[in-house]
């Protein structure tokens, strides 16, 4: 018995995108905008009140997501700092903490 798989790919949407940065990683704000753009979308032809409200909500969500991402980064640095101190390298840990 053979099975076939059919996938439906939207022809009017960008399914794949590539973003790059030069000599750095992405900022929390850049990643938050990308994240929210994947979660919230509104058509340019939507009623103006609905469209404006959705876009304002998206901007608020970008701010919130970026804030939590900064907290996650700080928390991870604390974890790395403590692991390096526990491994006997307090000077290296201090350099990491200052990032």
Regions of the chain short of the pLDDT cut 70: 1-3, 7, 9-15
Letter string b/e over residues 36-61, b meaning 16 or more CB atoms within 10 A of that residue's CB = beeeeeeeeeeeeeeeeeeeeebeeb
Do residues 51 and 44 touch, judged by C-beta distance below 8 A? yes
Check residue 15 and give its pLDDT: 65
What pTM does this model have?
0.74
Q: Residue 10's pLDDT is what? A: 64
Check residue 25 and give its pLDDT. 94
List strand residue ranges (DSSP E) for the chain, in order.
none
What is the structure's pLDDT at 14? Answer: 66
Q: Which residue has the tokens 């304002």?
A: 56
d(CA 26, CA 21): 7
């Amino acid at each position: 018995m053979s099975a076939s798989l059919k996938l439906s790919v939207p022809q009017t949407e960008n399914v794949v995108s590539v973003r790059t940065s030069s000599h750095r990683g992405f900022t929390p704000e850049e990643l938050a905008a990308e994240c929210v753009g994947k979660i919230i979308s509104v058509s340019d032809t939507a009623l103006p009140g609905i469209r404006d409200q959705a876009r304002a909500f998206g901007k608020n969500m970008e701010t919130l997501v970026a804030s939590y991402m900064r907290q996650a980064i700080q928390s991870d640095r604390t974890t790395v700092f403590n692991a390096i101190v526990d491994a006997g390298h307090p000077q290296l840990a201090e350099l990491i903490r200052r990032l």
